[in-house]
């Protein structure tokens, strides 16, 4: 077993153990997650996500089993082509490499965390559109996140293979993100479509047995020898589908800061893990932060432009930490502007 495979297996076992602990002990009682509880879990997941920066900072070289200068240069050329070593000894070069990887990780983490805000809006629309009982939100989102981890794993490692063979795909990703950012920035607000009108729901309703009502917190059940799926299962499918759609934005966006699939995967997963508690924390505040959507659009334009001009960045003296500074500025700026200039409520007589 290679060092890379061992690293990803250990990481996945760590993540799955946390999720199982949450499911078996914390989430064994179906209940509505309070704001206080959501705040605690959001703080815990964000702390874990940011704390992993220090793991990469001090042990990032373990992922690829780097034990010599030759191996270090090989890995750096493959996954971090913009890194230029300023020192000559193996120990100091390793510190430079780990620092660069750590900055790329935390930049990717903040990009994914910011882009996931839009995903929360869509999940809220799906859950409300199907009138899902509040007590079942937590369980549906748990299994939705578990499925998202599998889907992101496939997306990320497939993306790396494509980029290695066809580097020009970075330009395609960049153009797509640039278009998406401009589209979000200038499109007018419109009413969301009823999730029940989805082509997927219509397709499944014609081919499988759909029970019209919720049956406790079950996704399916058997009756008279037949398998029936509840509306809760349809909600789960739609949430997974929405994550696939958002992965088309978020995964290419993180490739703008790192080509290392492990760094991209780590940052994606830690951001996704906090998505459920973050959902409960900001579900009632979605209309308060009016400048978050333009902030997301600006980030997409930035990472799109970065991918389009990736070949010239080194010549322009662009450093990895510049991405981190810009992402942090956009996130903080969007929140501050939303607080300082709140949306005016229209009074109705």
The whole-number average pLDDT for the span 18-30 is: 64
Q: Which residues contact 341 (CB under 8 A, 6 or more apart)?
A: 290, 291
CB 136 within 8 A of CB 32: no
Which pLDDT value is given to residue 300?
78
pLDDT above 90 as % of the chain = 10
pTM recorded for the entire structure: 0.75
Which runs of consecutive H residues, i.e. helices, occur in the chain? Answer: 3-21, 35-59, 69-79, 90-129, 137-165, 169-186, 199-207, 231-255, 261-273, 275-282, 292-308, 320-340
**Is pLDDT of 51 > 80?**
yes
Positive or negative, the Cα torsion across 59, 64, 70, 72? negative
- Helix, strand or coil, per DSSP, at residue 223: strand
Which pLDDT value is given to residue 100?
92
CB 297 within 8 A of CB 185: yes
- 226-229 and 220-223 strand pairing: antiparallel
Which pLDDT value is given to residue 149?
81
43: its two tokens: 């703080």
Least confident interval from 29-33, 310-314, 342-346:
29-33
Which pLDDT value is given to residue 348?
47
**Is pLDDT of 193 > 70?**
no
Is the model more confident about 233 or about 214?
A: 233
Which pLDDT value is given to residue 243?
77
Which pLDDT value is given to residue 247?
75
Which pLDDT value is given to residue 294?
82
DSSP structure class, residue 64: T
131: its two tokens: 């009138």
The whole-number average pLDDT for the span 162-178 is: 75
CA distance 116 to 96: 30
Report the chain's mean pLDDT, rounded to a whole number: 78
The whole-number average pLDDT for the span 115-140 is: 75
CA distance 325 to 230: 46
CA distance 290 to 144: 27
**Is pLDDT of 334 > 70?**
yes
DSSP structure class, residue 220: E
Q: Which residues contact 126 (CB under 8 A, 6 or more apart)?
A: 195, 235, 238, 239, 242
CB 325 within 8 A of CB 257: no
∠154-281-46 over CA atoms, to 5°? 55
pLDDT digits (tens, 9 = 90+) for 297-324: 887 788 778 778 877 776 777 776 777 7
CB 296 within 8 A of CB 253: no
Which pLDDT value is given to residue 349?
46
């Amino acid at each position: 077993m290679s060092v890379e495979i061992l690293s990803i297996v250990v990481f996945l076992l760590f993540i799955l153990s946390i999720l199982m602990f949450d499911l078996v002990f914390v989430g064994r009682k179906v209940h509505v997650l309070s704001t206080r509880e959501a705040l605690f879990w959001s703080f815990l997941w964000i702390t874990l996500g940011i704390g992993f920066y220090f793991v990469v900072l001090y042990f990032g070289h373990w992922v690829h089993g780097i034990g010599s200068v030759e191996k270090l240069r090989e890995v750096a050329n493959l996954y971090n082509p913009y890194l230029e070593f300023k020192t000559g000894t193996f120990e100091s070069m390793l510190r430079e490499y780990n620092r660069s990887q750590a900055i790329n990780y935390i930049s990717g983490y903040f990009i994914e965390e910011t882009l996931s805000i839009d995903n929360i809006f869509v999940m809220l629309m799906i859950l409300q559109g199907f009138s899902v009982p509040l007590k079942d939100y937590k369980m549906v989102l748990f299994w939705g996140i578990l499925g998202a981890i599998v889907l992101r794993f496939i997306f990320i490692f497939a993306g790396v293979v494509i980029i290695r063979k066809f580097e020009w795909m970075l330009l395609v990703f960049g153009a797509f993100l640039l278009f998406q950012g401009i589209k979000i920035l200038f499109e007018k607000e419109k009413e969301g479509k009823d999730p029940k009108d989805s082509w997927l729901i219509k397709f499944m309703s014609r081919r499988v047995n759909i029970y019209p009502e919720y049956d406790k917190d079950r996704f399916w059940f058997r009756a008279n020898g037949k398998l029936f799926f509840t509306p809760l299962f349809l909600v789960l499918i739609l949430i997974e589908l929405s994550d696939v759609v958002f992965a088309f934005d978020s995964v290419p966006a993180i490739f703008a800061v790192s080509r290392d699939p492990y760094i991209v995967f780590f940052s994606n997963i830690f951001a996704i893990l906090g998505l459920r508690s973050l959902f409960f924390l900001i579900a009632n505040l979605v209309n308060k932060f009016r400048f978050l959507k333009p902030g997301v659009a600006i980030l997409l334009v930035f990472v799109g432009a970065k991918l389009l001009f990736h070949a010239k960045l080194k010549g322009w003296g662009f450093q990895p930490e510049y991405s981190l500074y810009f992402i942090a500025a956009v996130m903080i700026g969007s929140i501050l502007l939303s607080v300082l200039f709140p949306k005016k409520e229209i009074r109705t007589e």
